[in-house]
Amino acid sequence: MKTLLKTSGKWFKGNLHMHTLRSDGRIEPEEAIRLYREAGYDFIALTDHWVQSETEQRDDFLLLSGCEWDTGDMVNTPVFHIIGAGMERPVSLEVCHSHPVQKIIDAIRDANGIAILAHPAWSVTNPDDVLGLRGLSGVEIYNTVSGLPWNGQRADSSLYFDLWATKGKLFRSMAADDSHFYDGEHTRSYILVNAEELTAASIKKAIADGNFYASQGPRFESLETDGKVIQVRSSKVESIVFYSNSVWCRDRVFTGGVDRATYHIEPTDRYVRVELIDFEGNRAWSSPFAVHSDAAQ
Ligand SMILES: [Zn+2]
Ligand SMILES: [Zn+2]
């Protein structure tokens, strides 16, 4: 069996999207750091709008440099919000809300940061506008504050991953809180990164290598394939669900309290991704991975 998700290293829990009084968040940076640290997180990035924070190692807690840049006027040009995390120097972008989105991504990467597309569902992004972008390390499959009661119901961008993957573009799944209010949306949705150690270099390398998944609580224990089936082991959950470009197939849902499932890859499948849903409705999302392809991961 071939491993689709690395599980042999240590797991580190992080939120790479949140705001403070440095932009439109409601609390001081140190208070936000304290809330996440006390909730058991290992790393965060303070990503205030157009204000870049600095990387800082605090014993067993890591602050990655972060910022959120936006472009688009919502009428004539599409809206993109791009998160940068782990930059090693200031990103060179003058304040302007009409930069081409690729220019923002390139500027983040020029500063050795990782670039993430935030909340496509909230942004009402046309999925085709994303297909040609280069250099994204991940896309938010879930953004807590984009859901009720803080916004309309646009927290979940998972359908975008299926639209993209059906066209052959496999973006990696991330989840983040995008905390602003700290009245319940914080410490909910995160990534779990399988890395050697809790340093900026190790976390960034693990993210670049795809050694992470998105969660709100459920855990993947293993995710493997032999090319014919996909086997999942997880924490005890209500359901394990396999999504693919095949719009209908038997046995894609395993439910009723399960901690493992075996999915038989359909002849028409070109990619598969897996969601776990626990008894309270909390979810975990694997990234989509290619099947029936010489380039299968
Ligand atoms: Zn945003
Ligand atoms: Zn934000």
Residue 233 to residue 259: CA distance in whole angstroms: 6
**Distance (Å) from CA 120 to ligand 1 centroid:** 9
Q: State CA 135 to chain mean position distance.
A: 15
List, in order, residues 6 or more apart from 41 with CB less than 8 Å away. Answer: 13, 14, 15, 61, 187, 190
89-97's contacts with Cβ under 8 Å and 24+ in sequence apart are: 90/52, 91/52, 91/67, 93/69, 95/50, 97/70, 97/71, 97/72, 97/73
* 119 CA to centre of ligand 1 in angstroms: 7
Residues 6+ apart with CB under 8 A from 42: 12, 13, 14, 60, 61, 62, 198
Residue 210 pLDDT: 97
* Euclidean distance between CA atoms 198 and 54, whole angstroms: 16
Q: Would you state the pLDDT for residue 295?
A: 43
d(CA 3, ligand 2 centre) in Å: 33
In the structure encoding, which two tokens stand for residue 267, read together? 């002849």
Q: Which ligand is nearest to the CA of 82?
A: 1
Nearest ligand (C-alpha, residue 177): 2
Ligand 1 centroid from CA 100, angstroms: 16
Residue 220 Cα to ligand 1 midpoint, Å, equals 28
Edge to edge, what strands does the sheet with 114-117 contain?
Answer: 66-71, 80-85, 114-117, 136-143, 173-176
CA of 24 to the centre of ligand 2 (A): 9
Tell me the domains of the chain and their CATH numbers.
6-214 (3.20.20.140), 220-290 (2.60.40)
Determine the pLDDT at residue 14. 98
**Which ligand has the nearest atom to the CA of 24?**
2
Q: In angstroms, what is the span from residue 68 Cα to ligand 1's centroid? A: 7
Q: What is the pTM of this model?
A: 0.96
Predicted pLDDT of residue 292? 83
Q: What spacing in Å lies between the alpha carbon of 178 and ligand 1's midpoint?
A: 7
Identify the pLDDT of residue 293. 61
Q: Strands, E, within 106-168: which ranges? A: 114-117, 136-143
Ligand closest to CA 71: 1
94 C-alpha vs ligand 1 centroid, how far in Å? 18
- The CA 32 to ligand 1 mean position distance, Å, reads 18
Q: For residue 143, how far is its CA from the centre of ligand 1 (angstroms)? A: 9
pLDDT in tens, the chain (297 residues): 999 999 999 999 999 999 999 999 999 999 999 999 999 999 999 999 999 999 999 999 999 999 999 999 989 999 999 999 999 999 999 999 999 999 999 999 999 999 999 999 999 999 999 999 999 999 999 999 999 999 999 999 999 999 999 999 999 999 999 999 999 999 999 999 999 999 999 999 999 999 999 999 999 999 999 999 999 999 999 999 999 999 999 899 999 999 999 999 999 999 999 999 999 999 999 999 999 865 444
CA of 81 to the centre of ligand 2 (A): 8
